[in-house]
Each structure stands twice: as C-alpha cells, then as structure tokens.
Structure 1
Amino acid sequence: MWKSGFKWMFLIIGTTIGAGYASGRELWQFFGNESGLAILLFAILFSLSCYVILQISHEYKSSHYLPVLRIIIGPKLSYIYDGMIMIYLFSTTVIMLAGSGATLEAFHFPFWLGIVVIVIPLILTFVWDINGVLSLNSLILPLLIVGLLSTLLIFSFQENLSFIPDLSKQRNWVAAFPFTALNILPLIAVLGAVGNQTKGKGELWIASIGSGVILGSISYIYNSSLIQISDQVLLYEIPLFAILRHYPYVMFLFVSVMLWLAIFTTAVSGTMGIVTRVRNMFTAPLWVLSAVILLIMVPLTKIGFSTLIEYLYPLYGILNLYVLSAIILYPIINRYKMEQK
C-alpha cells in the first residue's frame, strides 16, 4: 500500500512541479505577501481534489481521463473540457520542448540539441508503457524535491527567515482557488489514466495527503524566500536565480539541471495525458504514439508561444474554477444520490 501510494504521489507531484513552479515564477504570480493562509488552503484543496479524481478513476478502472471527466462535470460539458485538456496538454508540452532548447542554448549549445536531448528520453520512457512513467517519476522526483528544498532551506537559514506567518495579515487567501484550479486539468488527464492500476483506497489517501503536504510545504518555504528578496525578483526572468545571485557558479549549474528535470517531468505528464487519451483510436504501442505526437510538436517549438500563454493560462484558470467546484462538491452530491436510492 505504501509503495503504491508513493508511486501515485510522485506522479501527482511530477505533474504539478513544472518549470513555472520550480522557477518560482508561478508561485510569485499567485502568492507573495500575506499568503500563508492561501498556501494552507491550496494544500487542503489540492489533497481533496487529488483524492476525488483518484477515487473516481479507481472506481471506474479508467485507462484515460474522459470517463473521469464525464463523472465530474457531466457528459455534455465533458466534450468541451476534453478539447480544452488536449489543447492544454499539447501547448504545455510544446513549451516544455522549447524550454529544453532554450536551457541548452543558455550554455551555448544549439537550440535543436536541447530538443533532441528531451525528445529521445521522452519516447524511451513510453517503451515500458505507463510503468515507464511511474518508474521514472519515482527516480527523478525525490532528487528534484530534495534539491529544491535544500536550496531554499540553505538560503532561509543564511537569511535567518522566520516561517511563522502573521495571522492578522492574510488578505491574499483567495489566491488559493485560482492556483489550485490551474493545476486541475493536467491532474485529471494524468490520474484518469491510472485508475485501472490502483489497488485500494489506502494508497489513494497516501498519494493525496502526501502530495498536498509536500507541495504545500515547498510552496510556503519558497514563497517566504521570495518575499525576502521581493525587490530583486522583478529583475530576474527566473525568480530562483535571484535567490542564488550571491552563490557560486556551480549552484547555478545545479539549479539549471534541476529546472530541466522539472521541464522533463512536465513534458512526460503532458505526453502521457495525450497518448493515453488517443490510444484506443490507434492500435500502436504508447512509445510509437508518443514519437508521432512529439515529431508533430518539434516544428512548433520555433513559434512564439508567449502570446498564447498570456491569454490561454488565465482563461484556463477561470474555466477550471468550475471543475474545481465540481470536484469539491462531488463527495457531497454523490453521497446525497446514494441516500436517495
């Protein structure tokens, strides 16, 4: 039970900790000052959402996200959100591929080499089907979590940061809802694909609570660190580099590798969501489907996606609030239906 619970927990964390989160940009955009309560609410809402999605996928033994989506928001709306999820996963994965190219470009390597470096391991991951993704996450995520936490804690201790929030100043608590909502669609896409592999409810609780506690803790420590250097954050495209501005070059190299791993885990989750959704339409192994999809994506990495993301992400944040509400209310509505029978 514990082993399976940690397996799903790492899958959840790997889906959530993308380049935006790991770099600090996403956290700073939503949180900042007076956000201690917001981050606590996020951890609670996130754990609840994960459990509801996992419970539905487990109950219906789903192998892709559409059955889960239909249960949560109904058959009519599920067609709209199905299209939204595919666009979201596709665009996010393209951006991750471009991010890999840009990362290696920063070290004076060709952009195309950065694309090759991420595409080949992505395809190889799916040679072992879903188990390849789960094994990879179990290997990479502990390293990513320990690396990020170590960097933040070293900075916090050096700066003598206090982690005790001022409870009288928590005006940004509402940020918990759009931040949680933004992460809902990829969670449905990924967790909906593993329902036929879950064994019992114990592992679902471990995965849900564990991921909420870990992400909530990292988010709080990260946000507290960024508040300490708030005057410097705006000067950096990647806020994490503002934390490391007085550190030796080897730390920048270490963090760059860590950010690439975050990019890779997000690309894996995005590709997994797409290939598990279309696998019933084509009689081909997952690695072949992933290879075809990734080859379609590669030419698009040269297109500027900043405008797309500028409008797409806020739109998803708003539309996902409905899905988040449906997930939170699902246990209540489902129990009421059971009592009526």
Structure 2
Amino acid sequence: MKKELIKIFQVAVVFIGTIVGAGLASGKEITQFFTLFGIKSFIGIILCGAFYIVMGSVISKISVKYSLNSYSDVMNIISPNIFGKLTGVITTLYLISSASIILAGSGALINQFFGIPKIIGSLIMLALALFFLLRGTNGLIEVNSFIVPALLITITTITLFYFLFCSDMVTFDSIASFPAKKGNIWISTILYAGYNVLSSSGVLVPLSSKMNNSKTMVRGIILGTLGLTILCTMINLMLTINQPYIYEYEIPLLFVAQRFGPIMQALLLVIIWLEMFSTEVSDVYSISKTLEQSFNIKFKHGIFIVLALALPISQIGFTNLITTLYPIFGVLSLIFIVQCIIFYFKDKNKCNSQNFK
C-alpha cells in the first residue's frame, strides 16, 4: 500500500511539474488565459482540471495497453497517417523551441540579478538538467518531487498572507467587482487545456510505461489535477485582486508578492527558476524518448543531441519561428485530443479489460 501511494504521488508531482512551467509559475499564463475573463475565470480553471483528468486518463490507458514509450508512439497508434507524422514533427519542434527559450530565460534571469554573462546562466541550467536527465525517468521524478511541493508551499503561503493581512481584498464582492476584459472563457479554457495535454503527453506516455498500471496513473493524474487546480485558483485569486497593475509586468506574481517584502519576492524568483528547470528536464526527456523509439538513438545520446541543438538556438533567438509554431501547435493539440477520444472509445473494451490492472 505504501509503495502504491508513493507511485501515485510521483505521478502527481511529475504531472503538475510538466504542466506548470515558468509561464504558469510567473502568473503570465493564468493572466492571459483566465484572469482577463473576470469571475468566470474560476469556472474555467475547474473545467480545465476536469479536462486534464479525462484526457490524461485516456492517454495513460492507451499507453499501458499498447506498451508505448513516447508521444510519437501514441500518434502512430491513433493516427497512423501523414497527419500523425506531422503532429509528431510539430510537437518535437515545439518542445525543442520550448527547451531553447528556457535556456535563454535562465541566462537572462541570472544575468539580470547577478550580472553573470547570459551564456553562463544557460550553461548552469544545461549542466544541472544533464545530471538529472542521465538518470532517466527516476531523474524526472526526483526533480519534480522537490520542486512541485516547494511551489505549492510558496504560493499557499503568499495566498494565506493575503487572507491574513489583506482580508478586505479577498471578499467575494471585491473579486466580482473587477470587470471581464475578454468574453469567451470557454474557447480560452479548451485551447489552454488542449495545449497542455499534448505537451505533457511526452512525459505521461513513458511514465505510464514505467508504472505499467492504469489505476496508479489515473489516481496520480487525479491527485495531480487537484493540486494543479488549487494552485491555479490561488494564483488567479491573487492576480484578480491586484488588477490592473498586474498587466504592466512580465512576471505578474512578483508584483503580487512585493507587498510582503523582498524576501518573499526572492523566494518566488527561485521557485520560478526551478519551474523553468523542471520544464527543461521534461521537454528534453520527452524528445529524447521519441528519438529512442523513432530513430533507435539511445536515450542518453538523444539527451546530448537535443541539448546541443537547444543551446545555440537559445543564444540567437527565433521569434518568427515561435510566432508561427505555437498557433499551429495549439490547433494540432485539439485535433490530437479528438483523435485520442475517438480511438479510445472504439477500443474501450480492450483498454478496460485485463490490461487495466
């Protein structure tokens, strides 16, 4: 029983850590996808959580039944045609671009606060990522087992400070008084959820293979989604009551935390860097697993190849590529999800038979 609970916890923290990233931890993603929609934003976050549970469970069950090891394997199963291959290529490009952006962001963050050259900051993250990546799935679990609880504790602490010292700001009337700046929360919720499901599949699939137990995966995803929903709700609450000032900052949560002094801001900065790090590990892990399955390149060799590509790209920038790639990835993620659901229900009896352990 204890071993099972540990596995469920491991699945939960990896799931949270893969989705969170620096964008969510900084408050930027929540601001753009939810806070702008006013009081309905909280409903959107709950619906997003329900979406994660359904789609995470579907992908895990398919992965366990067919003994899949990478996101490209899933795409080949559910869409064994040119579209599946195109989705795999775009997903790989997206993950490489994400890894490159994070390396660049690490360099910029360390340069800004310590005056160290950007390339040194990028190399520091690369070296640390390499250390954990060479440990395979265990390294991925170890990274998130530390970072995710630290993130939850930090955000919970800041939220409690608001309830204790700024109680007049966190009343329902106060929250409801902020007008929505955008109208269609449902489209935003679906896009955000779909985008995260496809990007997290690179970790969910090999993790399902390691656990080899659908019940463990589903329970872990439910626990992870619960933690993620609470985390997003707390961040959204703090962002909502600090309008309109949050829109002036690249890292809105730093403004939210400054009310409680520089120590809290510094702690939050460390957490954001750690979330950047966990996303870097997840992205490189996902691509390396796919290279192993699709091109028979050893996992450890794949790690070096991906990092060797990501480092130079992070130094030269590729704004136009990202501007084009991200919308395409968003559309593909929704098509991928529809295909997953169709495949799952066609194969439902098999997925829920003896292979559901």
Fold-level similarity (TM above 0.5): yes
Matched residue, 2:202: 189
CA contact (8 A) 1:125 1:287 kept: no
Matched residue, 2:17: 14
Name whichever of 102-111 and 275-284 sits farther off: 275-284
Matched residue, 1:78: 84
SS of 2:46's partner is helix
1:278 correspondence with 2:284: no
Q: Report how far residue 18 of structure 1 moved.
A: 0.6
1:301 correspondence with 2:304: no
Q: Report how far residue 329 of structure 1 moved.
A: 4.4
Matched residue, 1:43: 49
1:155 correspondence with 2:162: yes
Amino acid at match of 1:96: I
SS of 1:237's partner is coil
Q: Report how far residue 15 of structure 1 moved.
A: 0.8
108, 125, 149: which one aligns with 1:102: 108
115, 126, 136: which one aligns with 1:129: 136
The share of aligned pairs that are identical, in percent, is 26
CA contact (8 A) 2:208 2:214 kept: no
Name whichever of 88-97 and 135-144 sits farther off: 135-144
Matched residue, 1:246: 259
SS of 2:258's partner is coil
CA contact (8 A) 1:37 1:173 kept: no
3, 6, 9: which one aligns with 1:3: 6
Amino acid at match of 1:30: F
| Inter-partner Cα distance in structure 1 for 2:8 and 2:79 | 26
Matches within 5 A, 1:136-285: 136-160=143-167, 161-162=170-171, 172-280=185-293, 281-282=295-296, 284=298
CA contact (8 A) 2:60 2:218 kept: no
| Inter-partner Cα distance in structure 1 for 2:72 and 2:314 | 28
Unaligned runs of 5+ in 2: 352-357
SS of 2:248's partner is coil
Q: Report how far residue 97 of structure 1 moved.
A: 0.5
Q: Report how far residue 174 of structure 1 moved.
A: 3.5
Q: Report how far residue 305 of structure 1 moved.
A: 3.5
Unaligned runs of 5+ in 1: none
CA contact (8 A) 2:90 2:325 kept: no
Q: Report how far residue 181 of structure 1 moved.
A: 1.1
Amino acid at match of 2:346: I
SS of 2:347's partner is helix
Q: Report how far residue 16 of structure 1 moved.
A: 0.4
31, 34, 41: which one aligns with 2:34: 31
Query: Would the alpha carbon gap of residues 110 and 61 (structure 1) be closer, same or farther in structure 2, given more than 3 Å must change?
Result: same
Q: Report how far residue 250 of structure 1 moved.
A: 1.6
Q: Give the helix-richer structure, 1 or 2.
A: 2
Q: Deviations over 1:279-305 (max 9, x none)?
A: 243554x34431232122211112233
Q: Deviations over 1:97-149 (max 9, x none)?
A: 01110110111222122112101111111222222212222222212222233
Equivalent pairs, count? 336
Q: Report how far residue 65 of structure 1 moved.
A: 1.8
| Inter-partner Cα distance in structure 2 for 1:52 and 1:309 | 29
Q: Report how far residue 328 of structure 1 moved.
A: 4.1
TM-score w.r.t. the length of structure 1 is: 0.90
| Inter-partner Cα distance in structure 2 for 1:171 and 1:283 | 44
**Aligned Cα root-mean-square deviation (Å):** 2.4
Q: Deviations over 1:187-236 (max 9, x none)?
A: 12111223321232321221121121111111122112111112101211
Amino acid at match of 1:62: L
| Inter-partner Cα distance in structure 2 for 1:3 and 1:225 | 32
SS of 2:135's partner is helix
Q: Report how far residue 273 of structure 1 moved.
A: 0.7
Q: Report how far residue 276 of structure 1 moved.
A: 0.6
| Inter-partner Cα distance in structure 2 for 1:129 and 1:311 | 32
Q: Deviations over 1:38-58 (max 9, x none)?
A: 111101001111111111111
Amino acid at match of 1:296: L
Matched residue, 1:55: 61
TM-score w.r.t. the length of structure 2 is: 0.86
Q: Report how far residue 82 of structure 1 moved.
A: 0.6
| Inter-partner Cα distance in structure 2 for 1:331 and 1:269 | 25
Q: Report how far residue 71 of structure 1 moved.
A: 3.1
SS of 1:230's partner is coil
| Inter-partner Cα distance in structure 2 for 1:12 and 1:227 | 26
CA contact (8 A) 1:72 1:326 kept: yes
CA contact (8 A) 2:12 2:225 kept: no
| Inter-partner Cα distance in structure 2 for 1:138 and 1:83 | 30
